[in-house]
Structure 1
Amino acid sequence: MTTSQRLSPPVTFGGALVLGRDGAAALVDAEGGLLAAREDVAGHLAGAGRGGRWVVWTARSVSALLDGPAPTAALDRTWDLAEVHRLLHGGSAAEPGRVWAAAHDLDTAGLPVAPSGDLFDLLAEEPDADLLVLPDGHLRPSVLAWADTDERCAALARAGLQVARWQHAQVAERGRRALLTACSESAAAVLCVELERTGLPIDRPALDRLLTAAAGPEPRSVEDELSARQARDAPVLAAVPGAGRIDLRNPAGVRRLLSLAGVEVSSTRKWVLEAHREAHPVVPAILAWRKAERVATTYGWRWRREHVGADDRLRGAWSAADGAAGRMTAQAGLHNLPAELRPAVAAAPGHVLVRADLGQIEPRVLAAVASDGALAAATREPDLYAPVAERLGVERAVAKVAVLAAMYGQRSGSAGEALRGLERAYPVAMRALQAAAETGARGEPVRTFGGRTVRTDLSLGERVLRAQLGPGEAPREVEDGSGSRSAAADADQERWRDAARGRFARNAIIQGSAAELFKVWAVTARVGLRALDARIVLCLHDELIVHVPRQHAQAAVTVVEGSLQDAARWWVGDDAVRFVADLQVVQRWSDVD
């Protein structure tokens, strides 16, 4: 099979699907003709086979059809209008009205707003109840709720087909790989619905023991909560006798406590405190307190009651792409579960967990994104950093730091000289990173390997911008004597913002491209695992966790490993870059080596 064939998946539309309110539904063919309505939709999909892709406004809007195995198999091949919109335009906003406006070159600032029920709604002119497209060309607001008859569902499905054809033309202009990305992003949206429905298996007794150890027994009253809070604070305050009343949840209070102990710090961030761990016993006490406090407040008893169901599954809403580089995200703490709670993530009786973690993913993705032959050759070795270190004439640890620093825009420290060596040894990869940084610094969008638009002209929050820079690189606050910021400070602020955007863009093309590969891998594995009665239960950046019957564990390992090779071959277009994953069969997440 040629590279061109691998990168040109046949994208044809079999039709469009809309599920409305009150049981209304419509499935139309590629020409807009009605194929099925209401309860007949599921049966028609079950016998549809692997024809063209089904257009949906969002995977979530058709989630009612994702319960049974036959409809799920049919919906493996979707074209999700919201996800493709995010791919084309960046950001996270992708409601139907916005997607329609983009396809018809309409001003999104003028999107119609659904009635809010306040007094001023009386001044607004109500559109015709059966009108899908308003006189100004915009789609009516809350259109998915509007579709409460089969006829309205069919009209909305035909509108979706129209948008899909426009999107397809736009994506195709970005190349064959972008078409593959549009298809895999759509499939990832279906996977997200499945992840939310399936949930992450939890050993409830183990979770309760862990929560008790970190936060105390489950409180039955406000007094119990206050008592547990004081118990967590006590070891920290005891480390500085005579400190008096200190609020450990206020950074100013923590700095005051440290100052009383003779420890002066510029901030209370973890990396700052770690440097003073040996200075006074209060420092390790504060670091330990933070871990317990995080579990108690963010992952405490209330979190367990709200998100762990009666079937011992942790559930939260999933999104196939964030508003930045396109990584999968989840709510209910699924993406930030503390290591202290991982022993509670355990397979159900008769099952095991197959955990797969992509190895050295960033430099491997960089080799593919930049088409750097020298770096691609390094990926063929068992340890990618070893040939890089040999080429640079440095220790492996220094080579690793240098490669990662290059992708994050860090040029200082022990890796500084090695970074300059990287520019000589891998000029193609380094030029690709630098070009992205320069584009981002100008506030212009960059694109991932799969064609996703990543916007850098958004009003990135101060916290996000500061995260792109190292210590001591924040802008100065200088007044001009009148209480206003000085011109020098304004210029410094602008330089700081440009540098932060540049670093964001440099990293986004790697993280965003890695997210694309990960999703191609995940959706490929999802289909292959179905025959084993196995389900993906967690997608954590570069890590997959599969819940599988014990007797099928090794078969699941084979499917996941083979899916990675298939996904990489499709995504890159050839075998030049080697991707690897560490696979382990465990009973609990914490059993992973």
Structure 2
Amino acid sequence: MPDSPVQLVALVVGPTSGLLLGAGVDEHVPLDDLVERVAAVTATTRPRWVVWSAASTLRPVVAAGVDVPRTWDLAEAHRLVNGGWWATPGHVVAACRGLPEADVPRARAPRLSGFDGDLFDVVAGDDPSLWTPDGHLRADALAWASTPARLRELAELALECQAAQRDSLGPIGGPDVARLERTVWSESAAAVLCLELERDGLPVDRPAAEDLIAAAAGPRPADDADAARIRAHRDRDVLRHAPGRPGADLRNPGQVRELLLSVGVDVPNTRAFVLEPYRLTHPFVDALLRWRKDERIATTYGYRWLDDHVGADDRLRGGWTACDGAAGRMTAQNGLHNLPAPLRPAVAAAPGHVFVRADLGQVEPRVLAVVSADRVFAEATRDDDLYAPVAAKLGADRPTAKIAVLAAMYGQRSGPAGEALKDLERAYPVAMGLLDRAYADGVARRPVRTYGGRLIRFGAPGVAPQGLEPGEDELARGASTAAADAGRGRYARNAIIQGSAAELFKAWAATVRHAVAPLGGQIVLCLHDELLVHVPEQHADAAAAAVGTALTSAARTWAGTDAVRFVSDTSVVRRWSEAKG
């Protein structure tokens, strides 16, 4: 992403006013005038706004429709450099000043009559310091920024932390520190994009959504009794395949397992992937699996979900975050990231508009070629289908080549995948060596970093790896230490690729965000490796071309090379379900 010489301006917002402090700007502004002043400074000097976080500082600016093109988000930079999720101003300051993270003050828990904290403990006339006796920033520092002096102190501190974060990139990136700085820029841009996604929402065809929900969950119930009747009817369609058990509870795994045993299906648990091979064994299994999909829509994406989260303007809205606290993927709430496939036809462009849907193709293997700097593997990325030249080099068919590449990144070494992986290691030793080193680091609990510098930490023995739910870690499930070590190793080798792919995706999204704006386009969904752009119909072709050009530009800048080619499957559709894949 091209960038003019940096002019940094700190923006700090308190309860009643804000302060703009930096290159050529030193203004104390009432809250009512803040959006207008930020818009004016942005238009005239195009600074890089230094903020404690986009979410806490820029929300009203973005809500007013102001384009904020360049930021340095201290929270996102902290998550990148130091890993993890916690990135309050106190955490940022502690990291920048070398203070113990464990001693960072936390906001006190709320109580029924208000908030239990220093804000209610200080008597009138007191002028408390923003600092604790041991040198940490108070947890409620921004709440106390009610005077120009306090705002200035926090603005100067923000600029100090930005400089410290910028300096910290050198020891991480070495001679390629510019790459890490660009990652901070794109991570910061993603945080602003999250606010735009929350503001604009995802277009939904409400009548279509009602029909699709009705097809899965039944008609909209008139009352609780009617809801119970509809639910019982859905259950009967499954239970009729298990005679003699009309009152069984399909929502109780123990009773479901008994039902399965009654029809001759003996399985260790009732998870869908365990039951799938038995789908043709007995009609009860097929009915149960279909019921589960309908039940998910009925209970999670039913009429209440539609009423609560799709606004009067027919836009689905939810909270967005630029980083999941693990490998760095964007996440969203209210079904924006896990909408069931049967409901996708309800995601429809507004009248006079279309979607440009673009999905990165084979992105993780291509990212591996960049991260490993394996020139031989990079050559395979010149093809639209990376697996074809890999297959030719291995002397194998395409399915075997694909299995080998995926096995390398996900650590699968048993069965056919293991045999294919041996051939891959001989053909591409540089790329495979990188993954093996990451695996060894994970086993040893040594932290690893993504291509853009994100730190991924591993806890002490008995602690799940950062980014994994406790139930996903072998050690948390009581497995042997060796199995837990292997689990961390597999997680590490995939995280350095998945995390790097997330950084590329956000760099691409940030570039697309600006490229489609002159066409009246807006990004309305970021889903793992997929972008959905909403654009006036007359600009569809131009927007699709802009998305492709943005990928070439962002990938070249992110990778620092043209040797690795990235591709996307791009189509113009009216409904999300019309897109391939």
TM-score normalised to structure 2 length: 0.92
The counterpart of 1:436, out of the listed 435, 438, 447, is: 438
The counterpart of 2:8, out of the listed 6, 10, 14, is: 14
Q: Aligned runs of 1:433-472 on 2, under 5 Å?
A: 433-457=435-459, 459-460=463-464, 464=469, 467=472
Q: Report if aligned partners of 2:439, 2:492 keep a CA contact under 8 Å in 1.
A: yes
Q: Could you say which residue in structure 2 is the equivalent of 1:110?
A: 103
Cα deviations across residues 213-255 of structure 1 (Å, max 9, x unaligned)? 1111222322122222212211111111112432211221111
Q: Report if aligned partners of 1:13, 1:55 keep a CA contact under 8 Å in 2.
A: no
Q: Report if aligned partners of 2:322, 2:331 keep a CA contact under 8 Å in 1.
A: yes
Instruction: Name the amino acid aligned to 1:554.
Output: D
Q: Aligned runs of 1:98-497 on 2, under 5 Å?
A: 98-116=91-109, 126=122, 128-173=126-171, 174=173, 175-457=177-459, 459-460=463-464, 464=469, 467=472, 493-497=480-484
The counterpart of 1:35, out of the listed 27, 34, 38, is: 27
Asked if 1:65 is matched to 2:58, the reply is: no
Which 5+ residue runs of structure 2 have no aligned equivalent?
A: none
The alignment covers a number of residue pairs equal to 564
- TM-fit CA distance, 1:377: 0.2
- TM-fit CA distance, 1:465: 6.5
In the superposition, relative to structure 1, how do residues 589 and 468 fare at CA in structure 2: closer, same or farther (>3 Å)? farther
| Residues 229-238 or 257-266, more deviating | 229-238
Q: Does the residue aligned with 1:546 lie in a helix, a strand or coil?
A: strand
In the superposition, relative to structure 1, how do residues 237 and 493 fare at CA in structure 2: closer, same or farther (>3 Å)? same
Q: Report if aligned partners of 2:53, 2:74 keep a CA contact under 8 Å in 1.
A: yes
Mapped partners of 1:355, 1:468: distance in 2: 35
Q: Report if aligned partners of 1:203, 1:344 keep a CA contact under 8 Å in 2.
A: yes
- TM-fit CA distance, 1:76: 1.3
Q: Report if aligned partners of 2:384, 2:567 keep a CA contact under 8 Å in 1.
A: no
Mapped partners of 2:561, 2:34: distance in 1: 43
Q: Does the residue aligned with 2:571 lie in a helix, a strand or coil?
A: strand
Q: Report if aligned partners of 1:34, 1:154 keep a CA contact under 8 Å in 2.
A: no
Mapped partners of 1:338, 1:178: distance in 2: 36
In the superposition, relative to structure 1, how do residues 243 and 438 fare at CA in structure 2: closer, same or farther (>3 Å)? same
In the superposition, relative to structure 1, how do residues 143 and 224 fare at CA in structure 2: closer, same or farther (>3 Å)? farther
Q: Report if aligned partners of 1:36, 1:44 keep a CA contact under 8 Å in 2.
A: no
Cα deviations across residues 155-207 of structure 1 (Å, max 9, x unaligned)? 32222111111111112332221111011100110000000000000000000
Cα deviations across residues 499-556 of structure 1 (Å, max 9, x unaligned)? 1111111110111000000000000010111111110000000000000000111110
Q: Could you say which residue in structure 2 is the equivalent of 1:483?
A: none
- TM-fit CA distance, 1:90: 0.8
In the superposition, relative to structure 1, how do residues 550 and 195 fare at CA in structure 2: closer, same or farther (>3 Å)? same
Q: Could you say which residue in structure 1 is the equivalent of 2:503?
A: 516
Q: Report if aligned partners of 1:353, 1:585 keep a CA contact under 8 Å in 2.
A: yes
Q: Aligned runs of 1:478-557 on 2, under 5 Å?
A: 493-557=480-544
Q: Could you say which residue in structure 2 is the equivalent of 1:93?
A: 86
Q: Report if aligned partners of 2:240, 2:246 keep a CA contact under 8 Å in 1.
A: no
Q: Report if aligned partners of 1:243, 1:260 keep a CA contact under 8 Å in 2.
A: no
Q: Report if aligned partners of 1:83, 1:94 keep a CA contact under 8 Å in 2.
A: yes
Q: Does the residue aligned with 1:517 lie in a helix, a strand or coil?
A: helix
Q: Give percent identity, aligned residues only.
A: 53
Q: Does the residue aligned with 2:415 lie in a helix, a strand or coil?
A: coil
Mapped partners of 1:138, 1:509: distance in 2: 32
Mapped partners of 2:98, 2:122: distance in 1: 24
Q: Does the residue aligned with 2:416 lie in a helix, a strand or coil?
A: coil
Q: Does the residue aligned with 1:275 lie in a helix, a strand or coil?
A: helix
Instruction: Name the amino acid aligned to 1:53.
Output: R
Cα deviations across residues 4-23 of structure 1 (Å, max 9, x unaligned)? xx9x967744210022223x
Mapped partners of 1:495, 1:115: distance in 2: 40
Mapped partners of 1:373, 1:178: distance in 2: 22
Mapped partners of 2:545, 2:214: distance in 1: 39
Q: Does the residue aligned with 1:565 lie in a helix, a strand or coil?
A: helix
In the superposition, relative to structure 1, how do residues 465 and 496 fare at CA in structure 2: closer, same or farther (>3 Å)? farther
Mapped partners of 1:105, 1:220: distance in 2: 60
Which 5+ residue runs of structure 1 have no aligned equivalent?
A: 1-5, 478-491
The counterpart of 1:566, out of the listed 528, 546, 553, is: 553
Mapped partners of 2:149, 2:29: distance in 1: 9
In the superposition, relative to structure 1, how do residues 114 and 408 fare at CA in structure 2: closer, same or farther (>3 Å)? closer
In the superposition, relative to structure 1, how do residues 13 and 405 fare at CA in structure 2: closer, same or farther (>3 Å)? same
TM-score normalised to structure 1 length: 0.90
Mapped partners of 2:489, 2:361: distance in 1: 26
Mapped partners of 1:145, 1:286: distance in 2: 53
Mapped partners of 2:20, 2:313: distance in 1: 34
| Residues 91-100 or 504-513, more deviating | 91-100
Mapped partners of 1:141, 1:466: distance in 2: 31
In the superposition, relative to structure 1, how do residues 419 and 286 fare at CA in structure 2: closer, same or farther (>3 Å)? same
Cα deviations across residues 27-80 of structure 1 (Å, max 9, x unaligned)? 11149x6235231663354244455421001111221111455x41xx211000
In the superposition, relative to structure 1, how do residues 125 and 312 fare at CA in structure 2: closer, same or farther (>3 Å)? closer
Q: Could you say which residue in structure 2 is the equivalent of 1:481?
A: none
- TM-fit CA distance, 1:125: 7.2
In the superposition, relative to structure 1, how do residues 465 and 417 fare at CA in structure 2: closer, same or farther (>3 Å)? farther
Mapped partners of 1:40, 1:114: distance in 2: 26
Mapped partners of 2:446, 2:238: distance in 1: 48
Q: Does the residue aligned with 1:278 lie in a helix, a strand or coil?
A: coil
Instruction: Name the amino acid aligned to 1:112.
Output: P
Q: Report if aligned partners of 1:466, 1:500 keep a CA contact under 8 Å in 2.
A: no
Mapped partners of 2:127, 2:436: distance in 1: 54
| Residues 319-328 or 233-242, more deviating | 233-242
- TM-fit CA distance, 1:413: 2.2
In the superposition, relative to structure 1, how do residues 129 and 498 fare at CA in structure 2: closer, same or farther (>3 Å)? farther
Q: Report if aligned partners of 1:29, 1:35 keep a CA contact under 8 Å in 2.
A: no
Q: Does the residue aligned with 1:218 lie in a helix, a strand or coil?
A: coil
Mapped partners of 1:534, 1:476: distance in 2: 47
